[in-house]
Structure 1
């Protein structure tokens, strides 16, 4: 018996805006990007998540917030 699972992931950028603050590495501007992620199993949608990610516009590093 052989079982094959087909998983897929689709990411889409929803919007981009300037965030307050400066990059701690190069003192560049920080951008907030809203990303929609969809997970599929055999072409059926399993999960839909919307996340906000922060990047520096000068050095393109991903910045992480610690609360």
Structure 2
């Protein structure tokens, strides 16, 4: 396999707001993503993703 992607969870914390589907609490998850080409690092990014605690749905912010 030439390309490989590694995801590592850095931390979780409660975010403001409620899930529009079920009304559950929202959790912010910081994820570190690394892309590699034959063991040589290509890209390194940290992203924040939002999930509902009750239904597990991934939420997106539109602003």
Larger Rg: 1
- Who is 1:37 aligned against? 33
The total of aligned residue pairs comes to: 63
Structure with the larger strand share: 2
- Who is 2:13 aligned against? 17
Give every structure 1 segment of 4 or more consecutive aligned residues whose post-TM-superposition deviation is greater than 4 Å: none
Deviation readout 1:8-45 (Å, 9 max, x if unpaired): 10000000000000000000000000000000001000
State the superposition RMSD in angstroms.
0.8
Gaps of 5+ in 2: none
Gaps of 5+ in 1: none
SS for the counterpart of 2:21 is coil
- Who is 2:43 aligned against? 47
